Amino acid sequence: MTASMVDDQTALKLDSVWRGAHVATMKEGRYSIIKDAAIGVVDGRIAWLGEADLLPKYQAKQEHDLDGGWVTPGLIDCHTHLVFGGNRAGEFEQRLNGVSYQEIAKQGGGIASSVNATRAASEAELVVSATRRLKSLMADGVTTIEIKSGYGLSLDSELKMLRVAAVLEQQFPVTIKRTCLAAHAMPPEFDNKDAYIDYLCETVLPKVAELGLADAVDAFCEGIAFSTEQVSRYFKRAQELKLPVKIHAEQLSALGGTRMAASYQALSADHLEFMEESDVQAMAESGTVAVLLPGAFYTLKETQLPPLDLLRQYGVDIAIATDANPGTSPALSLRLMMNMACTLFGMTPEAALAGATIHAAKALGISESHGSLEVGKVADFVCWDVESPGELCYWLGGQLVKQRIQHGVCHE
Ligand code: NIG
Ligand code: FE
């Protein structure tokens, strides 16, 4: 046996090695920095991570020099309504002329107008319009995105929206988690909210579960949408069908939807500006993630801030998302939302980055495999053209992505 044969056998076998940058791993929600790092990938997962100088002898099919900058986990946008027909720029103008979001909804605008446009659009048209938005988010560093239904509000059109989300995942290098938000608003065919919830429990949720089209179930708990009792009934059915739940709650008023959702071990409760201490306590006990949506807060010119101090005091994990939707948050950059979480909500850049990575992964139930850079996790990461990770929250817009790697493969 020759010396080189022995070497070949003992060398670490890697598909690819990435070096030439610093890494903020976001392990445990902190920057957890590795300077001058190397990342070794096998089968789309991280097989080795540490200081490049400590990399053992290896053989790699591909070597990549990142040539400076910082690497972070790929950003995770854990709350979007990316698939919809039309847009609501006209309502934006109405709101600036003093008409409130609730008034627009009462006049048949708001979510109802997106429902009409979404129902009228073909699956192919929805794929095309959502693609433009998806590409913007991806170009700004997103590698995983959650997409909700909720502008269909009938069996066929809810299934159509979820299928569009599935098609997008087949067409683009991005991981997509699908959420059934059939309890988003009242469809025009129904005039009784309880009867619509019965329909969702008896017809829509069982079909969505049978087809495996959703990873989770969501509801809008609010005066202009559904009561805590109605959402609770819908969650009970979701739980029977083995689908985890999430909730839009305490966005415009305090109804206690958050503590009700926590009693179902909700993955996340989202919005939360009007939440009370008992909601925060319930979330801490159930491990429910608080998803804050500064884009909706900003667009609606909300003045009631989510209770950051209470969330911190009870140790609730906080995620940040775009809530990309045609009404309250036409946001196409998760990094801009991170900036707004800092400037509007008083979060630190480190906490905002954790909110768009590891805590966002937890809000989707995938933190075992995504959200931080650790051996064994999926090799989804972004190399940014910045001198410190805090710059990701500092710049308003701009193009900071140097390379976006999904499952160990560079896509741009
Ligand atoms: O997350 N809060 C309810 N749903 C969306 C708004 C959807 C819309 O206005 O179309 C949200 O903000
Ligand atoms: Fe939303």
Of residues 4 and 165, more confidence is placed in: 165
Q: What 3-state class would DSSP assign to 369?
A: coil
Burial 306-321 (b: 16+ CB within 10 A, else e): bbbebbeebebbbbbb
**Kind of pairing between the strands at 409-410 and 401-406:** antiparallel
Of the listed ranges 107-116, 135-144, 394-403, the least confidently predicted one is 107-116
Q: How far, in Å, is the centroid of ligand 1 from the Cα of 316? A: 23
pLDDT at 1: 40
Q: Where are the extended beta strands (E) located within 111-171? A: 142-148
pLDDT(4) > 90: no
Kindly list the structural domains of the chain, giving each domain's residue range(s) and its CATH number in brackets, ordered by start. 12-73+372-410 (2.30.40.10), 75-363 (3.20.20.140)
pLDDT(189) > 60: yes
Taking residue 127's Cβ as centre, other Cβ atoms within 10 Å add up to 18
Query: Which ligand has the minimum distance to the alpha carbon of residue 84?
Result: 1
Question: 281: burial class by Cβ within 10 Å (0-12, 13-18, 19+)?
Answer: middle
Q: What is the pLDDT of residues 274-293, one digit of tens each?
A: 999 999 999 999 999 999 99
Measured from the Cα of 111, ligand 1's closest atom is: 10
Q: How far, in Å, is the centroid of ligand 2 from the Cα of 28? A: 26
Best CA proximity match to 337, nearest among 286, 291, 380, 376: 291
11 bridge partner residues:
none
Best CA proximity match to 395, nearest among 73, 173, 141: 141
Give residues (CB < 6 A) around ligand 1: 81, 110-111, 114, 220, 248, 251, 296, 323, 325-329
Percent of the chain with pLDDT over 70: 98
The pocket of ion ligand 2, defined by CB under 5 A, consists of: 323
Measured from the Cα of 296, ligand 1's closest atom is: 12
pLDDT at 106: 83
Of the listed ranges 36-45, 102-111, 289-298, 349-358, the least confidently predicted one is 102-111
pLDDT at 170: 98
Nearest CA to ligand 1 atom 8: 327
pLDDT at 7: 60
Quickly tell me which residue has 């999430």 as its tokens.
246
Question: What does the mean pLDDT of the chain come to?
Answer: 96
Q: What is the pLDDT of residues 190-240, one digit of tens each?
A: 999 999 999 999 999 999 999 999 999 999 999 989 999 999 999 999 999
Q: What is the pLDDT of residues 339-359, one digit of tens each?
A: 999 999 999 999 999 999 999
Q: How far, in Å, is the centroid of ligand 1 from the Cα of 204? A: 20
Contacts of 108 (CB under 8 A, 6+ apart): none
Nearest CA to ligand 1 atom 3: 220
Q: Is 98 left (phi over 0), alpha (psi -120 to 50) or beta?
A: left
Measured from the Cα of 248, ligand 1's closest atom is: 2
pLDDT(35) > 60: yes
Contacts of 223 (CB under 8 A, 6+ apart): 102, 252, 253, 255
pLDDT at 88: 94
pLDDT(6) > 70: no
What confidence tier does 117 reach under pLDDT thresholds 50, 70, 90?
very high
Q: What is the pLDDT of residues 190-199, one digit of tens each?
A: 999 999 999 9
